[in-house]
Amino acid sequence: MNETGHNRRSAIGAGSVGIAGGLIAAAAGASLIDPKAAYAQAAGDSQLRTVLDRGRLIVGTGSTNAPWHFEDESGALVGMDIAMAQILAKGLFDDATKVDVVLQDPAARIPNVVSGKVDITIQFMTVTPQRAQLVNFTRPYYIEGVSLLTKPGSPREKWDALVAGGVDTKISILQNVDAEEQVHKVLPQSQVLQLDTQANVIQALEAGRVDAAAVDLSTVWWLVKRQPDKYAEAKYSWNSMLYAAALRQSDLDWLRFVNTAFDVAMFGHLNEIFDKGVTDYFGLQPPKREFGLPKF
């Protein structure tokens, strides 16, 4: 997936409303630590203190890949990656709108973190051991997978029918050195049609040239949510990949803060932004938090 890096900053037009400059938490009858005293505990060169002093979060991301980062009808930058940025701003300043964005090409995701141009990259970035030698990854916030987009009401709409089709089942996928191998992992008898762009992969399905298009699970959810009369989900995924945010290495205060903010949003009580993103961008019900022993 290619994006054009504009190297510019723009404020996110978030719908979330917070208390500007809100680093003070108030709770009736509760005894709290003075925020200034807590702030002083962070190392002087920590990115956490740098961000707090600046009063805004600088995030590297993209603008052309729904449902992760894209412009809505009004021109506002939205998507699940943007929601994760808003979660951090809410935790830092009690104001989800205090985010500045550096639009960057995927190739700049690591260099912009390492150079300090951005505080954090949140751009559907797959975790790998090789990349982890260059940056600190946060806790994952999504598990991506290859999935199958189909047409509603078609004879091979669901997974079992695709399997039963055997050699007659046709699958389109983005051209790659291991594309055919990827499909044959799960549908060993199928015919594989490799195409040069993701748009053409999906268009082959629309034109009836294939029974299913092999694309990211998040893409399947996004398209089915928007056009359920046109697209369906075969309900089978494989080849799991972890998406996480990337930070500069050697700064545990900053890493631990980001992980805490993500954990509380995904599994704890401050989940409004995360849950809204799950519904808006994936068309899913927010995850049910189970009480008792942790399962994450």
Give the pLDDT confidence of 39-90 residue by residue, as tens digits.
Answer: 556 566 899 999 999 999 999 999 999 999 999 999 999 999 999 999 999 9
Q: Looking at the structure, tell me whether residues 237 and 256 fall in a common domain.
A: no
Q: Which residue's structure tokens are 């946060």?
A: 138
Q: What letter would DSSP give residue 25?
A: -
Instruction: Tell me the average pLDDT across 100-126.
Output: 97
pLDDT above 80 (res 157): yes
Task: Mark whether 120 and 16 lie in a shared domain.
Answer: yes
Whether residue 296 is contained in a domain is answered as no
Whether the predicted pLDDT of 191 surpasses 50:
yes
Are 121 and 159 in the same domain? no
Domain assignment present for residue 1? The answer is: no
Question: What gap in Å lies between CA 13 and CA 98, rounded to an integer?
Answer: 10
Domain around 173:
144-241
Q: Position of tokens 């994936």?
A: 282
Asked if residue 4 is part of any domain, the answer here is no
Give the chain's domain count: 2
In a domain, 116, yes or no: yes
pLDDT recorded at residue 232? 98
Confidence class for position 293, pLDDT limits 50, 70, 90: confident
If asked whether residues 128 and 255 sit together in one domain, one would say yes
Asked if the structure places residue 3 within a domain, the reply is no
What's 179's domain CATH number? 3.40.190.10
Looking at the domain assignment, is residue 290 inside a domain? Answer: no
> Is beta strand 170-174 parallel, antiparallel or unpaired with respect to 191-195?
parallel
Same domain, yes or no, for 171 and 237? yes
Q: pLDDT value at position 218?
A: 97
Q: State yes or no: pLDDT of 197 exceeds 70.
A: yes
Structure pTM? 0.84
Residues 6+ apart with CB under 8 A from 145: 216, 217, 237, 238, 239, 240, 241
Q: What pLDDT does residue 179 have?
A: 96
> Are 94 and 197 in a shared domain?
no
Pull the structure tokens for residue 75. Answer: 């021109």
Least Cα distance to 173 among 202, 143, 209, 152 occurs for 202
Q: Are residues 252 and 129 in the same domain?
A: yes
| Angle of the 272-282 helix axis to the 80-93 helix axis, nearest 10 | 170
Q: Three-state SS for 184?
A: helix
Q: Does 74 fall in a domain?
A: yes
pLDDT bracket for residue 38 (50, 70, 90): low
C-alpha–C-alpha distance, residues 147 and 218, integer Å:
9
Using the predicted structure, report yes or no on whether residue 245 has a pLDDT greater than 60. yes
Q: What is the CA radius of gyration of the chain?
A: 21
User: Same domain for 208 and 252?
Assistant: no
